[in-house]
Structure 1
Amino acid sequence: MTAISIAGATKRFDGTAAVDDVSLEIAEGEFVALLGPSGCGKTTLLRLIAGFETLSAGAIRFGEQLVAGEGMHVPPEKRNVAIVFQSYALWPHMTVAENVGYALRVRGLGKAEMARKVGEALAAVELSGFEARRPAELSGGQRQRVALARCLAMDPDVILLDEPLANLDVHLRAAMEETFRAFHARTGATMVYVTHDQAEAMAMADRIAVMEKGRILQVADPATLYAEPAGEGVARFVGNGHVVDCMALGRAGDGRSRVSLHGSEALVRAAGGAPSSGAARLALKPEGLALGDGGFAAKVRKAVFKGAHTLYEIEPDMAPGVLLPVTSAERIAIGDIVRVVVRDGWVLPSAAATTKSLAEAA
């Protein structure tokens, strides 16, 4: 396996940057997810790593080897990269064993050695005994495991996964998430996983790079990304978050920040680069708000039953037009007036502090 170093990677199509000056260090054996909405550049970045696209600027290295940039472009077939696609990309006329062993046959591997590698790869994804079946005879989850087995048999330096669970139903996705985790633990492979689904990224990746408009907004482990977004884009995209205006009133003895929000005061967490006084921006998530005594007054505008709880959208009396999410097991009618307490929040860093933090993380 190998580390991946991306320095200032840029890819333009007709003058528009799909990937814009992206730098990212991926350690050997690390599982990194590229997360973002459609059109953010994550798949283009994956294709640059694979060698399917050429760089407009910047450089990409696998370990010490330059594979793209500075007048160099190593073709995909010479990068020892394996790719798992959303569409599985299995040959329909081949058996499972033939699909898994195809790349090995192209490499000229002997029949006995190829059969051994195919058998080991299928056993690793729990598909022993499926060697003679055709893709049409398999479920979606089984087809995706065949694609994984094909990767495993190739002994690649890097494994790239492009929205591999997008075509599966919710139950199969949960099962395949565990398959991917086990696959990474077994192989120790360097893996880059593209997805728009933050739950997938949170469940599997060691670190997540959130992308927007061709740039990386933040790179962090899932817990840090969720609790400590580096800016408003990440705060809104991850975890159904909302960002509101507040007034910072100084730091408390435990390092938290005192803020005034909609006429009430609260103690919240604050980034190192967040303002200690004056106007500030506060990131809130549904679980950070609670209905109860004290806090600020708000009107219930929407209710969505979620089973164990109901997700409400509330409009603070002092901020008409602002809608905030809050969960509760109570049944409350739309139009009711409630009191809302801030239990947790995150005062966002200034723009300058965010830029510095992102540069250090990359």
Structure 2
Amino acid sequence: MTAITIAGALKRFGSGVAVDDVSLDIAEGEFVALLGPSGCGKTTLLRLIAGFETLSAGSICFGDRLVAGEGAHVPPEKRKVAIVFQSYALWPHMTVAENVGYALRVRGLGKAERRIKIGEALSAVELSGFEARRPADLSGGQRQRVALARCLAMDPAVILLDEPLANLDVHLRASMEETFRAFHERTGATMVYVTHDQAEAMAMADRIAVMEKGRILQVADPATLYDRPTSEGVARFVGNGRVVDCVILGPAGGDQSRVQLFGAESLVRASIGAQASGSGRLALKPERLAIGESGFAARVRKAVFKGSHTLYEIEPEAAPGLLLPLPSNERLAIGEVVRVSVRGGWLLPAGAGAAPLAEAA
């Protein structure tokens, strides 16, 4: 296990900045996800950690060892890093055992020692007995497990994963999420996982770093990130949230504040020391809205059946043109006017920023 310390990392490609003054501390054995839309810089940051890209400024340390920084660049093969790619990167002409043991053979390990390590690695990903098969004989999930076993056999200090589930179907992805969790628990390795899929990040990571335009907006555990975003970018990107204007009427005790939203008064959550009055910005998750007898008036504009519920889009009568998602088991007609109550919105800290997540160069 190895801790990773990234300090002021900057990466330029020509006149464009892909990673912009990023600092991040990853503890030994921690599973951290880099989350954001395409082009936000997350894969470039991963490649900087791996050593595939050189820093334009800043530094990266593995424990007390400087691997990238002013006057230093340790090549990937000397960083003791293993990488799992989206494309599996398996040799098609090699058997499973040969793929898993290839790096060990290159290192010069003897046949007997290689056999032991290959067997242990395949057992860890539940592929014992698959040694003689070739990648073409495996499912997508099995191929990804072979890639994991190859990492494990190398006994790496750090494991980097670049959108490894992107090519799998939805059912297989759910199964592989459990495989990754079990893999992390079994090995205790330090893992950095790149994804644009927030459900993946929430399901597996100890902490998530949300990125936008080459910068990290917030780093937190999944529950905190979902319930208490510190910026509008995070509030919008995580959990299909919406950010709306409100009027802060005053504190209501504990972590609650009274606000006026679309002409109706609501109780919402707020951080300690939050703004006491005046105009504010409120983060709303779909499940925080509910049809009721009280609340603001809204008109149903769209309905999509989701099986366990129907996802409606509602338009507050006090805010024409604004559409909010609202899941419900009730049957509502398009054009129907309903009352909507707010159950636990999050009042964003003052100065949280208004720019939504967008792609970076």
User: What is the TM-score with the length of structure 1 in the denominator?
Assistant: 0.96
Q: Which amino acid counterpart does residue 78 of structure 2 have in structure 1?
A: K
- 1:103-143 per-residue CA deviation (whole Å, 9 max, x = no partner) reads 10011001100100000000110111110111111000000
Alignment of 1:1-362 (within 5 A): 1-272=1-272, 274-351=274-351
- 1:326-356 per-residue CA deviation (whole Å, 9 max, x = no partner) reads 11101111111010001110000122799xx
RMSD over equivalenced CA pairs, Å: 1.1
**Aligned position for 1:359:** none
- 1:164-200 per-residue CA deviation (whole Å, 9 max, x = no partner) reads 0000000100000000000000000000000000000
| Contact 1:273-1:350 within 8 A present in 2 as well | no
Distance in 1 between the 2:184 and 2:225 partners?
21
Distance in 2 between the 1:148 and 1:274 partners?
45
1:15 Cα offset (Å): 1.5
- 1:40-94 per-residue CA deviation (whole Å, 9 max, x = no partner) reads 0000000000000000010000000000011100000000000000000001111
Distance in 1 between the 2:76 and 2:284 partners?
43
1:254 Cα offset (Å): 2.6
1:271 Cα offset (Å): 2.1
Distance in 2 between the 1:19 and 1:287 partners?
34
Residue 294 of structure 2 aligns to a residue whose secondary structure is strand
Residue 53 of structure 1 aligns to a residue whose secondary structure is coil
**Aligned position for 2:357:** none
Q: Which amino acid counterpart does residue 82 of structure 1 have in structure 2?
A: A
| Contact 2:33-2:201 within 8 A present in 1 as well | yes
Distance in 2 between the 1:105 and 1:148 partners?
17
Aligned residues between the structures: 354
Residue 5 of structure 1 aligns to a residue whose secondary structure is strand
1:23 Cα offset (Å): 0.3
Q: Which amino acid counterpart does residue 13 of structure 2 have in structure 1?
A: F
| Contact 2:231-2:353 within 8 A present in 1 as well | no
Distance in 2 between the 1:351 and 1:72 partners?
38
Residue 127 of structure 1 aligns to a residue whose secondary structure is coil
| Contact 1:144-1:164 within 8 A present in 2 as well | yes
| Contact 2:232-2:352 within 8 A present in 1 as well | no
Distance in 2 between the 1:312 and 1:353 partners?
28
Percent of aligned pairs sharing the same letter: 82
| Contact 1:83-1:160 within 8 A present in 2 as well | yes
Residue 351 of structure 1 aligns to a residue whose secondary structure is coil
| Contact 2:255-2:272 within 8 A present in 1 as well | no
1:273 Cα offset (Å): 5.3
Distance in 2 between the 1:213 and 1:152 partners?
33
Residue 275 of structure 2 aligns to a residue whose secondary structure is coil
Structure 2: give runs of 5+ residues left out of the alignment. Answer: 355-361
Distance in 2 between the 1:352 and 1:42 partners?
22
Q: Which amino acid counterpart does residue 224 of structure 1 have in structure 2?
A: T
Distance in 2 between the 1:353 and 1:301 partners?
29
1:255 Cα offset (Å): 2.9
Q: Which amino acid counterpart does residue 205 of structure 1 have in structure 2?
A: A
Cα gap change, 1:352 to 1:175, in 2 (>3 Å): closer
Distance in 1 between the 2:2 and 2:260 partners?
49
Distance in 1 between the 2:155 and 2:255 partners?
48
| Contact 2:5-2:60 within 8 A present in 1 as well | yes
Distance in 2 between the 1:220 and 1:92 partners?
40
| Contact 1:7-1:58 within 8 A present in 2 as well | yes
1:275 Cα offset (Å): 1.6
- 1:257-300 per-residue CA deviation (whole Å, 9 max, x = no partner) reads 11000111111101235322100000001110100101011100
1:16 Cα offset (Å): 0.8
